[in-house]
Structure 1
């Protein structure tokens, strides 16, 4: 059974070696190919990738930064060409704990033997800086994504509706069936939008408690009295707000759009002013993103 590991890089020289080296820890798996798609990095990312003794490893250097979704779909096409059954996505600032991928593959195979239509199975993503903090997956209510309540569950593998793309093992057939990732989003909310389409098409998604991945989300992570605060570069809030507004309004209607603005946008702006480093700039990009999402302006800006 062939597996393609896909990593999309952009100026990731400081972290890319760690994620590539963590791909070497699944000794029980064979027939794995690793593909790095580099979005025109201007630092020493390519040299760092080439310094890692990972075989087979392929690097595709894009002439410009095409974003995450286009790179994912290039990886999906490559997986189909290789005849791979599974596509495993990793961000350049993630690190797999020992046998993370092996856990995901074993459970995906077991679910299929039980007759389940497996679209994806997701790792348990933890903060790199606060390793007891788990980035919990989400369930879809019909008009919003809410954090899944997994505290009381004794199950190791739990059905969900969405989680982060980094550390997720995708069924190539399932991604193909729903048309892959939405390219005009460029970056952000690409994973959740795709996952909701997978669920709508009756492909199951699961979260694996013991498949652990550490992730350096954002540029700032700090613990507050409201929990873990993750802050991104100001321009990222544009894509987050724009894509989330469009996706939630399309999938959940006016109720979802109104709730997103009232609770998520205004709530996050308030937290930006409490904890953020650049509240004015981040808030501006967030509001501009909602406007462009409403007007249907997408792509790279």
Structure 2
């Protein structure tokens, strides 16, 4: 890590696997100055983990209730900046960074000073076939950007939060994550907002992150897709509509993203077990999105 950089990782947990979380902390502390761990009211089971690392390296925040991913990230980033962080690295609780992930991300930021964020190349070990996580809408079509050359740094439309490195100056200019989304589309909305303010977003092929999308991977019509419980689809549908109504998205991007979400709605409402639950959650989310409703509406685990 550069002597001029003071990277603080912000890790949000919710009913996490303690062993995997400990592995993540061990890997991160070899690459960052400190970790700000924000727990979204998981209960007392995880708290014992905090004693395994020095207090100056691991700063724990215990939220009294599940406030959602955006609020937890904001509480963590506020603490990180107060501690003097020059950069904030967002991490989900189930992600495992490669030993050189953070230096790779810092190098990409140094080469692209106009970046609001750089994101890691996340790989899901449950998938039988690899797929690039990076994409961009260009020339009226969606392009998937391959990482066959690990030296490649792609300009992209957005990156996921886990493995995303943000300079403190960019965070202060763009603003915090939207807490009223609760979960889903929080990272995408922030990236769109950053680009609207003249910043750019980059995906870094050499910065590797083991990360699982969805509770499991299922195969539908010969294709692997991430599976989330039905309650998540409420927020995916609602927050997508709220994002469509924002001024940060161009018409071409809106068209492509709408088409992809329409495909997901059809697949989960017709081809996945529990399709009626998915159908109801999608319709409820779309209705509330059109009404402008936000915040926690469907508690995690609801059917």
Q: Does 2:209 correspond to 1:213?
A: yes
1:122-137 to structure 2, matched below 5 A, reads: 122-130=119-127, 132-137=129-134
Q: Does 2:185 correspond to 1:180?
A: no
Distance 1:259 1:204 in 2: 20
Partner SS, residue 169 of structure 1: strand
Q: 1:151 to 1:179 in 2, by over 3 A?
A: closer
Could you say which residue in structure 2 is the equivalent of 1:22? 27
Distance 1:42 1:143 in 2: 48
- Give yes or no for contact 1:143–1:252 (8 Å, CA) kept in 2: no
Could you say which residue in structure 2 is the equivalent of 1:63? 64
1:33-112 to structure 2, matched below 5 A, reads: 33-42=34-43, 44-51=45-52, 56-111=57-112
State TM-score, norm by structure 1: 0.86
Distance 1:253 1:34 in 2: 36
- Give yes or no for contact 1:13–1:48 (8 Å, CA) kept in 2: no
- Give yes or no for contact 2:12–2:72 (8 Å, CA) kept in 1: yes
Q: 1:16 to 1:230 in 2, by over 3 A?
A: same
Could you say which residue in structure 2 is the equivalent of 1:117? 114
Q: Does 2:239 correspond to 1:238?
A: no
Question: Which structure 2 residue ranges, 5 or more long, are not aligned?
Answer: 298-303
Distance 2:279 2:124 in 1: 24
- Give yes or no for contact 1:76–1:172 (8 Å, CA) kept in 2: no
Could you say which residue in structure 2 is the equivalent of 1:13? 17
Could you say which residue in structure 2 is the equivalent of 1:271? 267
Could you say which residue in structure 1 is the equivalent of 2:135? 138
- Give yes or no for contact 1:128–1:214 (8 Å, CA) kept in 2: yes
Distance 2:253 2:152 in 1: 31
Deviation of 1:232 after TM superposition, in Å, equals 0.4
Distance 1:275 1:209 in 2: 33
Could you say which residue in structure 2 is the equivalent of 1:202? 198
Q: 1:70 to 1:141 in 2, by over 3 A?
A: farther
- Give yes or no for contact 2:36–2:80 (8 Å, CA) kept in 1: no
Distance 1:199 1:65 in 2: 30
Q: Does 2:154 correspond to 1:158?
A: yes
Q: RMSD between aligned alpha carbons?
A: 2.7
Q: Does 2:284 correspond to 1:288?
A: yes
CA shift digits 1:57-99 (9 cap, x unpaired)? 0110001111111111112212221221110011001111121
Deviation of 1:278 after TM superposition, in Å, equals 2.2
Distance 1:47 1:132 in 2: 38
Could you say which residue in structure 1 is the equivalent of 2:301? none
Q: 1:258 to 1:161 in 2, by over 3 A?
A: closer
Distance 2:63 2:183 in 1: 16
- Give yes or no for contact 2:118–2:159 (8 Å, CA) kept in 1: no
Distance 2:47 2:138 in 1: 42
Q: 1:50 to 1:289 in 2, by over 3 A?
A: farther
**Larger deviation, residues 65-74 vs 189-198:** 65-74
Distance 1:266 1:220 in 2: 21
Partner SS, residue 231 of structure 2: helix
